[in-house]
Amino acid sequence: MMIRKINLLVTAGILLCSLSCSEDANEDTVLTQELSQTELQTILDTDEVTSALDTALAELYTGNSNSNKSFQTSNDCYTAEYTETGFTATFNNCVLNGTENANGTLTVIYGADSNTASYTATFEDFFIGNIKINGTRTFTLNTTGTEEAISFTISSNITVEFETGETISENGTKTFDFVFAEGEDTLWNLSGSWTVQLNGDTYTISGDVSRTLVCEHWSSGIMQVNKNGLEVAVDFGDGTCDNTATLTYPDGTSDEITL
């Protein structure tokens, strides 16, 4: 009986040691990761591929504001067919806000609430240059109650595929605010929570950051970035218009990077 108890204790000890070593290995794996400048810039810039379309979508959205009947409209590079619930637009080598040519067809459905300006755009193998976009973007104009500010929210569930075969997926919601103060530079604010998948890594981002439009980079606020379980706080500063950010890791170490 004593030998059996000793064997059980030894077995339990081995199992406990194995679990402990496994947990330590997982922690070491997380702690040895880091968030690079390139990664940070990439996850912040995923919007730029599709943001050029937002202005064109807004123009198409308002194109049907005076009629509930189906009709078609076109310019030199696109045609759009409107219905009571939305429209379908086909682009043929359109240059949008200086971007590469846009090609393909997208479908837009208006928001169900007539008191809210919103729509959902669905992209299916839509190209900007050699970049292919699939998925949906929902655009909602928020009521601010003041003429000194504009606020809109974009909820995305999109995949962007580059000519090299590399893909970036983004899922989540971002809110953009533009604040116009007399005698001051226009303030641009970004807040929300979204997830980016890139090269087998998953980044969950949340926070509230700002910059004036004269600044090239975010210059104030803190963004939380979780990379595969590694929590990193990204501090963009106190509002000074510069190109640096401070990364703080779970163990308290910090690193200043150039954007």
pLDDT digits (tens, 9 = 90+) for 147-156: 788 888 999 9
Task: Give me 18's structure tokens.
Answer: 């194995």
Residue 114 clears pLDDT 80, i.e. is over it = no
Task: Write the CB contacts of 23 (distance below 8 Å, at least 6 apart in sequence).
Answer: none
Task: Write the CB contacts of 117 (distance below 8 Å, at least 6 apart in sequence).
Answer: 61, 111, 140, 141
> pLDDT-derived band of residue 52, with 50, 70 and 90 as boundaries?
low
The H or E element spanning position 149 is strand 149-161
d(CA 172, CA 9): 49
Residue 236 clears pLDDT 50, i.e. is over it = yes
Strands 102-110 and 118-128, how do they pair?
A: antiparallel
- Quote the percentage of the chain above a pLDDT of 90: 38
> pLDDT-derived band of residue 20, with 50, 70 and 90 as boundaries?
very low
Count of H helices and E strands in the chain? 3, 14
Given its phi and psi angles, is residue 36 left (phi above 0), alpha (psi -120 to 50 degrees) or beta? beta
- Residue 115 has what pLDDT? 60
The answer to which of 24-38, 79-93, 150-164, 197-211 has the lowest mean pLDDT is 24-38
Averaged confidence pLDDT in the chain = 78
The answer to which of 69-73, 117-121, 169-173, 254-258 has the lowest mean pLDDT is 69-73
d(CA 93, CA 42): 26
